Structure 1
Amino acid sequence: MEVTPEGTPSPSQAFQGLKVLDFCWVAIGPMTTRYFSDFGATVVRVESVHRPDVLRQATPYGQGMPGINRSAYYANYNSGKLSLSLNMMESRGRELAVQLATWADVITENYTPGVMERWGLGYEDIQSLNPSVVMFSASMQGRGGPFSSHPGFGPVLTALSGHTHMTGWPDRAPTSPYGAYTDFLLPQLAIAAITAALDYRRRTGIGQHLDMSQLEGSLGFMATALIDFAANGRIQNRTGNLHPIFAPHSAYRCKGIDRWCAIACRNEEEWRQLCHVLTRQNLATDPRFYNMELRKRNEMALDVEISSCTQHMDASDLMHLCQSAGIPAGVVQNCEDLFADPQLTFREHYVFQNHPEIGRHAYDGHAFTLPESPPNYRPAPLLGEHTMQICRDILGMSEADVLKLTDDGVLS
């Protein structure tokens, strides 16, 4: 889907008219507030050249050239927001932030607990000025308790939440899942909670402070292992691609460089069908693999036999053959595959926009459609791009005052 710099105006959007003051940074926070900007809200993103979002310095860069405004990683999570460059180390900067807090319907932040309070922007401070405000705070382990002030990024939280313990092979060290894994899990929970608070405010006029522990939010994705320990005292460990019941259950090498197909057989019929797809009907009657129990017992030998067949097959062809036979299977897709994926193409998942420094590049579209409230996709802002506009139109400042504060290092 191609989008112009101005986006595609929508006559009706879910968050139209909503005002969001966004202090979030890195992944979980900006991913959450992007729902607001894409669906009609005015989102003022607060940063500073003295402490820009770390994602602005994260690869990939447009055309491979580093720059504070050239990170496609940052751009993907901040589309359509207004960027205010505000030095929060300056008292006058904090005063302007308080003024914006009285304007906002929603304030979002994911700093270590205590930062907003030190700036005079804690919930109690702002509620006295803006009683109906909804504040959303996300932190590693939530507010209160012995580890409330524990700082860190996604890979640290992935370890704390048990995901790293469960990822990898039983005879090797734990492996962290891709990227800031827990950050990618939680924005959907966050936007649902904020939306619920806004609905409550709409009905009652009462705001509230939402305190999200990213650790606690991540534990829902460890449910099976946690329940097993609670019920049976058993600590699950790394198992690679193995399943506790099903066999075969793995990713099998296919023809080509680093090409694989994941296959799972849940019953005897699927196993017989797989033997047919592989043209190895003899495996169905092999005494080592005659039933599920025997296949689990001889799983290493089973995988060797299957791989000896799949390594000569195209991964996509193998997937379609398996699926046609009723066998769960999927190509292990890389990024090139994902951009060529016919289903994602049909649903126009990737949104292509022209950014003033990055150039034309892809943004993730949303995973759902709202026919009555379509998103308005726009490029991510340059650092401080809208500082003059925000100060003039929202704070009512004169151009001379804005330039003076810029020269003084407050708006920088």
Structure 2
Amino acid sequence: MKQQPLTGITVLDLGQIYNGPYCGYLLAMAGARVIKVEPPGGEAMRGRADPPLSYPFMMLNGNKETVTLNLKSDAGREMLRNLARHADVLLENFAPGTLDRHGVGADALTAINPRLVYAAGTGFGRTGPHRDYRAMDITVQAMTGVMSVTGHDGEPPLKAGPALCDILGGVHLYAAITTALVRRERTGRGAVLDVAMQDAVFPSLTSALGAWYVSGGQSRRTGNHHHAWAVAPYNVYAAGDGHVAIICVRERHWLALLDAMGKPELADDPRFTDRATRALNMVATDAVVEAWTSTLSRVDVFEVCQQHQVPCAPVQSLADVLNDPHLLERGALAKVAHEHYGEVALPSTPLRFKDVDPPAVSLPRNAGADNLQVYGELLGLSADDVASLVDAGAI
């Protein structure tokens, strides 16, 4: 079996909720040894469900070893310092300064291990006037401007449904870590990394900002339409059993859609002669498209559009996605047996190498399941030592 790209890299994952854990999961799925460091009793995210292993926790924390460590205890902090001597990477997404106040922040740990890559994921960064603002996905969406361009004109701002900022922040944290590891190969030096969710999300506003500049600073929420109201059709249309998304960004797409709908004569209709004209007649354009889509199922619309090379997709439900044959065949989703939930679909890694298959997806281990193994191997502690630390509340 060929080695994974990050085989031999040891990561201490102090991540919590979504941001840090997703970064740690990507590292684990690339072959790194990821040791999840949790407080005694486990990360709070474990218990957001009954039975106490929430699906989000399962999604983001498989394929990791897990140890418990009480950073509020002197012994726990000293153990983290000693673990850092053996680590290539430490990642965390606490509020800025949290670990510094415990004496185990970036300066302290990189002084112990100059090759350590210390990676901090934050809402707004470790510097700047907003560094101490409490950050959750919705607050970062608000601060970043995402909510200002989501939803429909005349209605209140709307957050994106998924945890957009947390996950994009985690992806960029992964990119920063792997970049720092490449630099370390050249220089022998570790790094202190600062990856803010706000910074990571800003580039996603590219279309909205383009429309803002072109319009001279005017901004309206456009719902499912193009941010600049400049493309039609570009919308979500009712089908007989749900909805489909269709976009015709090029003239050939529109002409192909007319053929798909059996309406080639509309190519000569003065309301639809080019993209600009269709945008001016957006209501009429959408009406023509929906008059066709509403007579067919989502799958039928999708298949006909694909045959004519028209950009189109059915709006899939969560149930659809969890059983998507494309995702399953590619291995992007793995079906894993769970004692309480039955079979659950968990994501693999989106990072694919042609010559190396990603590791099989595994469920998270119980909090502290690897205390004996990790603390014995890395710190030389015996079973009696570990038991004493449990009794003392250090782990």
Matched residue type, 1:101: A
Contact 2:172 2:195 (C-alpha < 8 Å) held by counterparts: no
Moved more, 194-203 or 349-358: 349-358
Moved more, 19-28 or 282-291: 282-291
Residue 296 of structure 2 corresponds to residue 313 of structure 1 = yes
Distance across 1 between alignment mates of 2:218 and 2:178: 37
Give the Å deviation of 1:284.
Answer: 4.2
Evaluate the alpha carbon distance shift between residue 356 and residue 121 of structure 1 in structure 2; reply closer, same or farther with a 3 A threshold: farther
Distance across 1 between alignment mates of 2:209 and 2:383: 58
Q: Which residue of 1 aligns with 2:12?
A: 21
Distance across 2 between alignment mates of 1:321 and 1:229: 35
User: Pick from 379, 388, 394: which aligns with 1:395?
Assistant: 379
Evaluate the alpha carbon distance shift between residue 218 and residue 316 of structure 1 in structure 2; reply closer, same or farther with a 3 A threshold: same
Kindly indicate whether structure 1 or structure 2 has the higher relative contact order, using CA contacts under 8 Å at least 6 residues apart.
Answer: 1
Q: Which residue of 2 aligns with 1:246?
A: 231
**4+ residue segments displaced more than 6 Å:** none
Matched residue type, 1:321: V
Q: Deviations over 1:69-121 (max 9, x none)?
A: x2121011111111112122222211111111112111101111110101111
Give the Å deviation of 1:260.
Answer: 1.0
Contact 2:29 2:349 (C-alpha < 8 Å) held by counterparts: no
User: Pick from 82, 86, 91: which aligns with 1:103?
Assistant: 86
RMSD of equivalent CA atoms: 2.2
1:210-221 to 2 correspondences below 5 Å: 210-221=193-204
Matched residue type, 1:138: G
Distance across 2 between alignment mates of 1:57 and 1:113: 25
Q: Deviations over 1:321-377 (max 9, x none)?
A: 122223221111122322443432331221223346655422112223224443223
Q: Deviations over 1:34-65 (max 9, x none)?
A: 12222322211111246x4343234xx5xxxx
Q: Which residue of 2 aligns with 1:43?
A: 34
Matched residue type, 2:159: S
Evaluate the alpha carbon distance shift between residue 230 and residue 309 of structure 1 in structure 2; reply closer, same or farther with a 3 A threshold: closer
Q: Which residue of 2 aligns with 1:53?
A: 43
Give the Å deviation of 1:380.
Answer: 1.3
Matched residue type, 1:248: P
Q: Which residue of 2 aligns with 1:165?
A: 148
Q: Which residue of 1 aligns with 2:258?
A: 275
Q: Which residue of 1 aligns with 2:353?
A: 370
Q: Which residue of 2 aligns with 1:4?
A: none
1:143-292 to 2 correspondences below 5 Å: 143-227=126-210, 229=212, 233-243=216-226, 244-256=229-241, 259-281=242-264, 283-292=266-275
Task: Please state whether the residue corresponding to 1:128 is helix, strand or coil.
Answer: helix
Identify unmatched segments of 5+ residues in structure 1.
1-9
Distance across 2 between alignment mates of 1:231 and 1:298: 20
Give the Å deviation of 1:170.
Answer: 0.8
Give the Å deviation of 1:300.
Answer: 1.9
Moved more, 279-288 or 74-83: 279-288
Q: Deviations over 1:291-310 (max 9, x none)?
A: 43442223223323332322
Evaluate the alpha carbon distance shift between residue 271 and residue 356 of structure 1 in structure 2; reply closer, same or farther with a 3 A threshold: closer
Q: Which residue of 2 aligns with 1:7?
A: none
Matched residue type, 1:106: V
Distance across 2 between alignment mates of 1:273 and 1:233: 34
Evaluate the alpha carbon distance shift between residue 307 and residue 54 of structure 1 in structure 2; reply closer, same or farther with a 3 A threshold: farther
Give the Å deviation of 1:241.
Answer: 1.6
Contact 2:232 2:286 (C-alpha < 8 Å) held by counterparts: no
Identify unmatched segments of 5+ residues in structure 2.
none
Matched residue type, 2:8: G
1:1-150 to 2 correspondences below 5 Å: 10-49=1-40, 52-58=42-48, 66-68=50-52, 70-150=53-133
Evaluate the alpha carbon distance shift between residue 12 and residue 273 of structure 1 in structure 2; reply closer, same or farther with a 3 A threshold: closer
Distance across 1 between alignment mates of 2:2 and 2:247: 46
Give the Å deviation of 1:173.
Answer: 1.1
Contact 2:333 2:348 (C-alpha < 8 Å) held by counterparts: yes
Evaluate the alpha carbon distance shift between residue 301 and residue 57 of structure 1 in structure 2; reply closer, same or farther with a 3 A threshold: farther
Evaluate the alpha carbon distance shift between residue 232 and residue 293 of structure 1 in structure 2; reply closer, same or farther with a 3 A threshold: closer
Task: Please state whether the residue corresponding to 2:22 is helix, strand or coil.
Answer: helix
Distance across 2 between alignment mates of 1:269 and 1:127: 57
Percent of pairs with identical residues: 29
Moved more, 263-272 or 343-352: 263-272
Task: Please state whether the residue corresponding to 1:35 is helix, strand or coil.
Answer: helix
Contact 2:90 2:119 (C-alpha < 8 Å) held by counterparts: yes
Give the Å deviation of 1:404.
Answer: 1.6
Distance across 1 between alignment mates of 2:44 and 2:16: 8
Counting matched residue pairs gives 392
Task: Please state whether the residue corresponding to 2:112 is helix, strand or coil.
Answer: coil
Task: Please state whether the residue corresponding to 1:262 is helix, strand or coil.
Answer: strand
Contact 2:169 2:196 (C-alpha < 8 Å) held by counterparts: no
Distance across 2 between alignment mates of 1:307 and 1:77: 39
Matched residue type, 2:371: T
